[in-house]
Amino acid sequence: MSLFDNLQVKQTELRRTIEDSALRTRVARARAEFHDPDRETIDRTEDARHTSEWLRAVTTPDSGQDRKDLEDLLDRVDPRMWPARASAELSTLAAKNPPNHGPELPEHDTAILISSDTDKGLRAALFNAVALAGGDLDRVRYLAEPTDRVRQERGKVVIVRLPGLDTGYPKGFVKAMRGLGSLGRGVDRMLKEDADVAFFHLSGGFKAALPFLLSLGEALRSLRGRSRVRAFALHELSRDLISIELPLRFLSPELLREEISGAAEDGTLPPKPAGKAPLLGFAYDTGEDGLALKLTPFGHALRELLTLKPET
C-alpha cells in the first residue's frame, strides 16, 4: 500500500496508530498538499519536470517560498509521528530497526530512495524521505539524475530520480538501467571507502524494477564480498513487521568484467566462443537474427557499473 493510499484515501494506518486525534485531522486536511491529482495534466513528462524542479527547491535550505510552504506543512503533519506501516518503504526499514521498529533512519546511516520520473512518485519519495529523516528536512537530499555522487551524501536520506524507469519504450528503459548502473557505482565507491554494508530493501515502489535492483545487489555483492551486500523484503502476510532476507548470488568479479568487455554503446558485444556464454539471458542475449549478442537492459546497468570513470 502506498503512502498516499494509507494517509489520504483509506487512512487505515493513520486512524489505527496515531493516537493524537488533532494530528490525524491535520494530516487528513493536508491531502491536497501531499499530492493533488487534480493538478496533473495529460502531459506526464511536463508534470514530472515541474515536480523535479520543485523538489530541487524544497530540498535546498532557504531557497524561497516553496521551501517555507513545505516547512509549514511538515510542522502541521509532523512526520516524526507517522506509523511505520504508513508505507512499504517505511515498514521495510522499520523492520530492520530494533528494538522499537520505528522508521527513523539511524544518524550515521544513509538511505537511498529510487523514484520513478512521475509527479506522484517524486512527491511520495519526498514524504517518505522526510519521515525516514525524523521530520528533519535538512537531512533530505535530491538528485535529479542518477550519479555516483550519491557517495558524497553519507548520513543523508537521498531521493534519486531515475528517468525512464516506468516507460514502456525499450530505449527509455535502457536509459533507466544505465542510470541504475551509475548509482550502483556510487554505492560501490561508498563500500570501497569504508567497511559499510549495503542493504537492499525490495518492498514498495515500482514492482517491475525490483528484479533489476536485486540483480544490482548481486553485482555489488560480487564486487565487494558476500558479507557487504544483503537484500530484504517484507513478509506481507505477517501482522508483525518481519523482513525476510533474500538470496543473492555471488559471481566472480573477473567473470562479470570479462563478459561485458568490449560492449559498444548500443549494446553490441563481440562474438563469444561456442558454448561459452555464462551470462546469456542475464547480461546479454541474442539479437533478432539469433546470432549477434546484445546487452540486455540490465547488461547496460552492468556496463555502467563496471566502467572505470573519474570520480566526480
**What was the pLDDT predicted at 83?**
83
- What are the pLDDT digits (tens) for 111-149? 999 998 889 999 999 999 999 999 999 999 999 999 999
Which residues are CB-neighbours of 11 under 8 A, at least 6 positions away? 24, 28
Q: Are residues 118 and 238 in the same domain?
A: yes
Of 250, 272, 303, the residue that ends a domain is 250
Cβ atoms of 122 and 115 within 8 Å: the answer is yes
Q: Are residues 308 and 283 in the same domain?
A: yes
Q: Are residues 60 and 181 in the same domain?
A: yes
Q: Are residues 292 and 144 in the same domain?
A: no
Cβ atoms of 182 and 304 within 8 Å: the answer is yes
Cβ atoms of 241 and 84 within 8 Å: the answer is yes
**What was the pLDDT predicted at 1?**
47
* pLDDT exceeds 60 at position 10: no
Q: Are residues 177 and 138 in the same domain?
A: yes
Q: What's the domain count of the chain?
A: 2
Q: What is the pTM of this model?
A: 0.91
Q: Which of 193, 205, 90 is nearest to 148 (CA)?
A: 193
* Cα-only R_g, the chain: 20
Q: Which of 164-173, 215-224, 225-234 has the lowest mean pLDDT?
A: 164-173
Cβ atoms of 103 and 127 within 8 Å: the answer is no
* pLDDT exceeds 50 at position 247: yes
In one-letter notation, the amino acid at residue 210 is: L
C-alpha cell at 260: 561485458
Q: Which of 36-40, 42-46, 146-150 has the lowest mean pLDDT?
A: 36-40
C-alpha cell at 26: 491535520
Q: Which of 122, 121, 82 is nearest to 102 (CA)?
A: 82
Looking at the DSSP bridge assignments, the partners of residue 246 are 231
- What are the pLDDT digits (tens) for 186-210? 999 998 877 789 999 998 767 778 8
Q: Are residues 134 and 242 in the same domain?
A: yes
**What was the pLDDT predicted at 31?**
84
Looking at the DSSP bridge assignments, the partners of residue 245 are 232
**What was the pLDDT predicted at 172?**
78
Average pLDDT over residues 95-108: 80
Alpha-carbon span 44 to 116, nearest angstrom:
12
* pLDDT exceeds 90 at position 272: no
Q: Which of 114, 123, 113 is nearest to 37 (CA)?
A: 123
Higher local confidence (pLDDT), 11 or 58: 58
Alpha-carbon span 12 to 185, nearest angstrom:
39
Alpha-carbon span 237 to 214, nearest angstrom:
21
Q: Quote the mean pLDDT of the chain.
A: 88
Q: Which of 266, 259, 270, 146 is nearest to 213 (CA)?
A: 146
Q: Are residues 236 and 131 in the same domain?
A: yes
Q: Are residues 78 and 188 in the same domain?
A: yes
- What are the pLDDT digits (tens) for 148-189? 999 999 999 999 999 887 666 667 789 999 999 999 999 999
Q: Are residues 161 and 25 in the same domain?
A: yes
Give one DSSP letter per residue of 125-181, joined into a string: HHHHHHHHTTT-GGGEEEESS--GGGGG-TTSEEEEEETTTT-SSHHHHHHHHHHHH
Q: Are residues 260 and 209 in the same domain?
A: no
Q: Are residues 259 and 136 in the same domain?
A: no
CB atoms within 10 A of CB 73: 17
Of 202, 219, 250, the residue that ends a domain is 250
Q: Are residues 84 and 103 in the same domain?
A: yes
215: CATH = 3.40.50.10770
DSSP state for residue 10 in the 8-state scheme: S
* pLDDT exceeds 90 at position 57: yes
Domain range spanning residue 296? 252-312
C-alpha cell at 282: 542475464
Of 250, 282, 297, the residue that ends a domain is 250
* pLDDT exceeds 70 at position 266: yes
